[in-house]
Amino acid sequence: MATYSALTAARCSINFFFKDAVLTSNKTFLLSDAYTGKGYTGWRTCGSRSSDSAGTVSHFDGLVQGGRLRTDAQQRHVLQQLAQLQHTLRTYSNSIYLSPPKLSSEEEKSQDLNYKSPPAEITGSKREERDNKEELVRSSPPPPPKGFYIYGDVGTGKTMLMDLFYSRVESSRKKRVHFNGFMLDIHKRIHRRKQSLPKRRLGKMFTYDPISPVAMEISNETCLLCFDEFQVTDIADAMILKQLFETLFKTGVVVVATSNRPPDDLYKNGLQRDTFLPFIDVLKEHCHTVCLDSGIDYRQLNRAAAGNLYYLSGQPGADAFMDALFEELTLRQRSVTGPRVLTVLGRDVTLRKTCGTIADCTFQELCGRDLGAGDYLEMAQTFDTVFIRHVPLLTLSLKDQARRFTTLIDNFYDKKVRVVVLAAAPLNRLFHHTGGEDERDRQLLDDLGLSQDAAERLTLFTAEEEIFAFQRTVSRLMEMQTESYWVAGDRSPSRKQDKAA
């Protein structure tokens, strides 16, 4: 009887899900709903829209007046500052910073090892030397425009404002990317450069630093970089950021980033954080720091729900409902149900149950294995809907799995992947700050030669970063259950046909 009820409920919900998408055009959207289009996904160059900076603020005001956004003075103030940068970027190019500056004749002579300075009476007076130096200063390019680092609590509209700014910048040399995706790309480029080096001969030693050349590659491709969710949790990332961004800034790349943390809290209590601190100074020197924190999580305001997409393990018929929902969704696919092998950086990642753009997975399958942002990004590009079954109550003893779950949701949210979840506890009580160190923590302490005091201080052991980041996970999962998010994320073949018609 429970199975029959679940099947009936599933069909009713599916009918609701697949109503003509036109019905959403008259809905009231909040914050990111206004800019959840497909143009803001990925590490790529995008086209530009013709508009001026005043038009950006006017457009925002129009969205408020039309009821698609709520009145928020902080958001408008931040957007006004971004609009000024937008105006500057209309005529900006970083090409002048990419070529070495032309040397004056005096400098060319000074760099010529065979050149001998004539006697002082021939070279002229000190006044002439001073005039030459002043002329060199006047001929140097002006400093590039400062970017922005926008931080604040979850759901306050940071990403929406950045995307609104980005979509109206009149430049083809711009890129918008989730910070996880950016760092993955950086590590790929570093690896590729190292692989291209000639093999070392026995006894021949040489050093090669690929970070600056990789930064130069990026600088030659773009003059505006927009990052969503700027965060540093990985020591490998932390160690290269200063050199990477110093080169980007010196070559005139303008950075606009969003984050939940202020700059001074980046990589907080991280391993070897002292070596990371100089990067914070570099970031603050080249970006205006702006706080956007109205205290409102707009994702949690009442919006039309896309049926029931979050189930509790003890709920009668929950598994049967998810089975029925999977079957209904796969009817729109032109594929058979079976396993799928994804190749990520030369590794095979197998998902046992998939059909077209739908994947039916367990938490263990997604987060119990040693997977990372690259794997989840590949899944997000392959599937538009992912079932996540049997999510356990996440405690500090499961902080690795909690970290992967947060990374999974971050990547899925950025690519507008829809999720259906079966979990052991309600969403706002899914992560318990209880439990303690496990055997792996103790082994890691021994391997690193760290004391027990370090275990109580470093985020590697305390799960402070996971606890902080999980607030974002909860907020995003709330939005991912809305009707507008569900409709926007449909990539099935039949959906594409409907759009074409």
Strands 174-178 and 287-291: unpaired
pLDDT on residue 450: 56
* CA distance to 49, 84, 161, 225, per residue, from 165 (Å): 11, 10, 6, 12
Ranges under pLDDT 50 in the chain: 1-51, 101-118, 120-123, 445, 500-501
Side chain identity at residue 118, one-letter code? P
Half-sphere exposure (Cβ direction) of 380: Cα atoms closer than 13 Å: 21
Supply 126's token pair: 């000190």
Rounded Cα gap, residues 95 and 82, in angstroms:
22
- Sketch out the chain's domains with CATH numbers: 31-95+143-291 (3.40.50.300), 304-500 (3.40.50)
Torsion of CA 239, 288, 377, 343, to 10 degrees: -40
CB–CB of 466/406 below 8 Å? yes
Rounded Cα gap, residues 103 and 132, in angstroms:
12
pLDDT tens digit string along 95-124? Answer: 999 975 444 444 444 444 444 444 544 445
| Cα R_g (the chain), whole angstroms | 26
Print the SS3 string covering 230-270. CCCCCHHHHHHHHHHHHHHHHCCCEEEEEECCCHHHCCCCC
Token pair 């599916």 in the structure block, residue: 14
CB–CB of 263/152 below 8 Å? no
**Three-state secondary structure call for residue 352:** strand
CB–CB of 236/468 below 8 Å? no
**Three-state secondary structure call for residue 287:** strand
Residue 12 exposed, middle or buried by CB count within 10 Å (0-12, 13-18, 19+): exposed
CB neighbours of residue 71 within 10 Å:
9
Token pair 């509209």 in the structure block, residue: 157
pLDDT on residue 442: 56
Supply 78's token pair: 């931040």
Supply 150's token pair: 């926008």
CB–CB of 183/238 below 8 Å? no
Torsion of CA 377, 378, 382, 383, to 10 degrees: -50
CB–CB of 109/268 below 8 Å? no
pLDDT on residue 139: 62
CB–CB of 380/178 below 8 Å? no
Rounded Cα gap, residues 118 and 104, in angstroms:
17
User: What is the Cα 405 distance to its own chain's centre?
Assistant: 15
Strands 287-291 and 147-151: parallel
Rounded Cα gap, residues 262 and 151, in angstroms:
6
DSSP state of 431: B
Strand partners, 305: 482
Rounded Cα gap, residues 361 and 339, in angstroms:
11
Rounded Cα gap, residues 192 and 226, in angstroms:
24
* CA distance to 23, 51, 213, 250, 436, per residue, from 217 (Å): 45, 29, 6, 13, 44
pLDDT on residue 208: 75
Rounded Cα gap, residues 344 and 334, in angstroms:
25
Strand partners, 482: 305
CB–CB of 484/33 below 8 Å? yes
pLDDT tens digit string along 257-306? Answer: 999 999 999 998 888 889 999 999 999 999 999 999 888 888 777 566 67
Token pair 């590729």 in the structure block, residue: 192
Angle 319-322-327 from CA coordinates, rounded to 5°: 125
Angle 194-196-202 from CA coordinates, rounded to 5°: 80
CB–CB of 271/458 below 8 Å? yes
pLDDT on residue 496: 55
Rounded Cα gap, residues 367 and 439, in angstroms:
19
CB–CB of 46/174 below 8 Å? yes
